[in-house]
């Protein structure tokens, strides 16, 4: 489903651990974040992705692929912490919608 959305030119948002699948879903050099977990970031890089460290309240955007990612519970200690990044992600995904 995610690949079909991507191939249709639709924006995709991935949160928490889901961005770890980004290289498999979007191909080599996809830009994404899972926050600051070095092991997971290394796995993303090993699969050909480009991981960007990111705070819980921030997002990373791969504009070429219309992919928006945020760490959410990879870093969040509370619902409100996770919600800050997730809200930004949803807003950006909507802005990228054709």
Catalytic residue IDs: 16
The first and second tokens of residue 2, run together, are: 């995610």
Range list of H helices, the chain? 2-7, 22-26, 38-46, 79-96
Per the CB < 8 A criterion, the answer to whether 14 and 6 are in contact is no
> What percent of the chain is helix, strand and coil (3-state, nearest 5)?
45, 15, 40
């Amino acid at each position: 489903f995610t690949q079909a959305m991507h191939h249709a030119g639709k924006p995709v948002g991935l949160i928490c651990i889901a961005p770890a699948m980004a290289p498999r879903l979007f191909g080599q050099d996809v830009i994404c974040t899972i926050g600051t977990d070095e092991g997971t970031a290394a796995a993303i890089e090993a699969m050909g992705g480009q991981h960007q460290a990111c705070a819980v309240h921030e997002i990373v955007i791969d504009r070429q692929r219309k992919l928006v990612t945020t760490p959410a519970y990879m870093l969040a200690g509370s619902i409100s912490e996770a919600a800050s990044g997730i809200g930004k992600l949803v807003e950006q995904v909507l802005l990228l919608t054709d």
